[in-house]
């Protein structure tokens, strides 16, 4: 399986690309600038010389032609970037991991984008794709620590059960991650907004938190 990452040169996108490549996926790190993507891939490989990573650079259209596509752009360009690549995303599983947040003074606060969540906005912009909201709460720095597991549950929601299953399988291969089916895409609003709470805890306790839910066996 080839996984493309739109807007993959930011901290979250590049760390996710490295992590996915480390567990055996072929990854295309996309960007509006192919040269920026080339630089990001070179940096990833230089940071992990002991790993053989099947990761290559491209522009966003190259990433959009992969089997599964992740949108890792800033939240306010997620729907636009998806729309620009609509033809290549048609019928594919597309993962939106963007959170609409703003920092006001010392507080992180969630924003309510059109249609209630970034994921729903992307789904409306590209209705032909199989949109899944996931991976909002995975800390970028821990994603990039390839020799260490990530102790986190990963909440996944979608209106397409088959797409949910595909994403759960991918996330289940990341050491330490437990994928959880959190229902339909309408729940993305709460999942995205909760990121502001986690970031606030990071600031207050000078750490990086990740969600772990009790009471679920397996």
pLDDT digits (tens, 9 = 90+) for 204-216: 999 989 999 999 9
Task: State the total domains in the chain.
Answer: 1
Q: Could you list the residue range(s) of the whole structural domain that residue 55 is in?
A: 2-205
In a domain, 41, yes or no: yes
In a domain, 213, yes or no: no
Judged against a pLDDT cut of 70, whether residue 196 lies above it is answered with yes
pLDDT over 70, % of the chain: 100
Q: Provide the pLDDT for residue 106.
A: 85
Q: Provide the pLDDT for residue 218.
A: 66
Closest CA to 15 of 65, 53, 62, 67: 53
In a domain, 215, yes or no: no
Closest CA to 72 of 124, 130, 138, 23: 138
Q: Provide the mean pLDDT of the chain.
A: 96
Mean pLDDT of 31-42: 96
Closest CA to 30 of 76, 2, 61: 61
Judged against a pLDDT cut of 80, whether residue 124 lies above it is answered with yes
Query: DSSP characters for 81-124?
Result: HHHHTHHHHTTSEEEE----EEEETTEEEE---GGGSHHHHHHH
In a domain, 109, yes or no: yes
Q: Provide the pLDDT for residue 17.
A: 98
Judged against a pLDDT cut of 90, whether residue 150 lies above it is answered with yes
In a domain, 211, yes or no: no
CATH number for the domain that contains residue 18: 3.40.50.720
Q: Is 209 exposed, middle or buried (0-12, 13-18, 19+ CB in 10 A)?
A: middle
pLDDT in tens, 66-86: 999 999 999 999 999 999 999
pLDDT in tens, 178-194: 999 999 999 999 999 99
In a domain, 105, yes or no: yes
In a domain, 151, yes or no: yes
- Which tokens go with 164? 């949910």
pTM recorded for the entire structure: 0.96
């Amino acid at each position: 399986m080839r996984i493309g990452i739109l807007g993959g040169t930011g901290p979250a996108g590049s760390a996710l690309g490295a992590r996915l490549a480390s567990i055996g996926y072929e990854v295309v790190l996309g960007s509006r600038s192919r040269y920026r993507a080339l630089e990001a891939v070179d940096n990833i490989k230089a940071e992990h010389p002991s790993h053989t990573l099947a990761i290559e650079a491209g522009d966003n259209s190259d990433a959009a032609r992969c089997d599964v596509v992740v949108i890792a752009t800033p939240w306010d360009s997620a729907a636009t970037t998806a729309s620009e690549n609509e033809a290549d995303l048609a019928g594919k599983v597309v993962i939106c991991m963007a959170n609409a947040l703003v920092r006001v003074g010392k507080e992180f606060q969630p924003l309510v984008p059109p249609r209630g969540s970034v994921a729903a906005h992307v789904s409306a912009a590209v209705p032909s794709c199989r949109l899944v909201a996931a991976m909002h709460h995975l800390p970028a720095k821990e994603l990039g620590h390839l020799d260490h597991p990530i102790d986190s549950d990963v909440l996944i929601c979608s209106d397409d059960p088959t797409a949910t299953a595909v994403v759960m399988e991918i996330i289940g291969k990341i050491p330490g991650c437990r994928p959880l089916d959190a229902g339909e895409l309408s729940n993305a609003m709460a999942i995205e907004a909760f990121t502001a709470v986690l970031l606030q805890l990071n600031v207050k306790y000078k750490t990086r938190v990740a969600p772990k839910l009790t009471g679920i066996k397996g």
